[in-house]
Structure 1
Amino acid sequence: MIDLKGLFDAYSRQARLYPALLTLVPLLLTLLAWVPALVTIDQLLIGIAVACGVLYFLSDVARTAGKRLEPKLLEEWGGWPTTIWLRHSDNHLSAEVKRRYHSFLSSRPAIAAMPTREEEEREPAKSDERYVASVMWLKEQCRGADYALVHKELATYGFRRNLLGLKPVGVGICGIALVAPLLIALARPGASVSQLLQILPEAYAALPLPILGALAVSMIGLVVWLFIVRRSWVREAGDLYARALLASCDLLVVPPSNGSVS
């Protein structure tokens, strides 16, 4: 038995494997429904081996698609959510909480002092560079198992970002699966368009239950791709990750001498 978990770590499973699986499920169900012979033991073993290879490839494609999309998202948002939340001009955090986070980060020897409001207004780009550097340091301190919420929110962000990157593929697969009966009907020689439109409802109604089930999954999948997997959905995950990561400022105890987590 092939252990897919062995191919991916916890982050990669959620952020890369699961988007690939969700993208492929309508296609796999459609193939199994239309070609039941694939369920035989020999064909099933071959199919599993092929699916594992396809999943591994598509998981890498998912990450690539997500990373390629990310610069556009950051331009639209105005920067990383973690950077945005640290700005004096942003109101996601209360003034007291932001002051506490700035004070903690500024006290770290490896980090330059956080910009004042005046410095941020005068030199926003340089101020953002300091925020980004402080967040990079914070990420390194939160790699341990004690920061499970940070890891969870990061994986959720990666999952949503990569799923959004795969959206064109997912919509295409679901769309093709839904119109498969129409494509088969169009292959009938001598049938006019008007005749096809008349017989199409009957063609769908006469489909076996497994095919109808696969069509239902594809329909649900198409709705999810079109109305849930959106940029705002990814931004929501980015904000939740920013909240979790910055909140670690209240949990970290870092000796000033070496900057390591105690």
Structure 2
Amino acid sequence: MEVFSQFDTYSLKARVFPALISGLPLLILLFMLVPWDHLALSQVIASSIGFVLIFAFADLARHRGKKLQERLGTGETPDQWLRGNRDVPEGSKDRYRGFVAEQLALTAPTLEEEQSGSELSADFYQSANAWLREQTRDHSAYPLLFAENITYGFRRNLLGLKSIALVCNLLVLLSCAGILYFESGYFAALPNVEEKVYIAVAAALLHSAYLMTAVNELALREASRAYGRQLILSCESLMHSHKSSPPKDESA
């Protein structure tokens, strides 16, 4: 759809998609209770409300996702650099550690510094990850890293919207109960209104079950570590590109 063309790939998959998933039962109820056999003001209003909800949820997804990341300490994963962490082979980390230390013009932490919990050690690995992120912004050159980043962003933002989505599902269920109980003139005149309401109820219940079982902190941490691992492994390509780069002519 053209309305989504203004979003880049990351924003679309990691922000808009969680927004759509979070507000799905609400959108289903909205569009099922408006007749679409003809174009009128109600259809225009319903469409506008739907798009506004998507944009609002997408912005909220980013905000709440960032807050969640700060609270849980995900996304950075500097501990994956530590000796003894099995996410990346030790031999590879030794090479990457030396390479990054050279690029940062810093001294890599020793085993003793890591075990003592030195602030210099933590700062070095945070700086290493920050440097790697800046060096790997070309998504076409690092597609696996970009894919892992999208997966992490999707899970983070969806988990950030989880409580709001569950509240919306409750509102959908209450609205459906009210429609069936009061049978107001407008809703009674809609074709197959009871069938549509029951579909909205089923959507809200299934959606809530999905949120309660699949959207959780464990899945987020799993995606965070997968992204962190791939970020460290990107050193391999960077080391190769640095070796392949011709030396600068200092006489110029």
Specify the code of the residue in structure 1 equivalent to 2:122. Answer: D
Determine if contact 2:30/2:46 at 8 Å carries over to the other structure: no
Number of paired residues? 234
Decide whether aligned partners of structure 1 residues 178 and 39 sit closer, same or farther in structure 2, where only a CA change above 3 A counts: farther
- Paired letter, 2:7: F
Partner SS state of residue 84, structure 1: helix
Distance 2:181 2:4 in 1: 42
TM-score by length of 1: 0.80
Which whole-Å CA distance do the structure 1 matches of 2:137 and 2:157 have between them? 22
2:219 corresponds to 1:233 = yes
Q: Aligned Cα RMSD in Å?
A: 2.5
Mapped pair 1:90 → 2:85: yes
Contact 1:111 1:134 in 2 (8 A): no
- Secondary structure, in 3 states, of the residue corresponding to 2:144? helix
State the partner residue of 2:159.
164
Q: 1-side partners of 2:16 and 2:6: how far apart?
A: 9
Task: Give the deviation of 1:117 after TM superposition.
Answer: 0.6
Instruction: Give 1:114 deviation, angstroms.
Output: 2.0
Percentage of identical aligned residues: 29
Higher mean C-alpha deviation, range 119-128 or range 4-13? 119-128
Distance 1:97 1:233 in 2: 26
**Matched letter for residue 233 of structure 2:** A
Measured against aligned partners, the alpha-carbon deviations of 1:135-176 in whole angstroms (never above 9, x if no partner) come to: 111111111111011111111111111111111111111222
Gaps in structure 2 of 5+ consecutive residues: 184-191
The offset of 1:80, in angstroms, is 2.6
Please list every run of 5 or more consecutive structure 1 residues that lacks an aligned counterpart in the other structure.
Answer: 189-205
Deviations 1:86-110 (A, max 9, x none): 01242322222222221222232x3
**Cα distance in structure 2, aligned partners of 1:150 and 1:3:** 27
- Residue 189 of structure 2 corresponds to none
- Find the counterpart in structure 2 of residue 248 from structure 1: 234
Q: Which residue of 2 aligns with 1:117?
A: 111
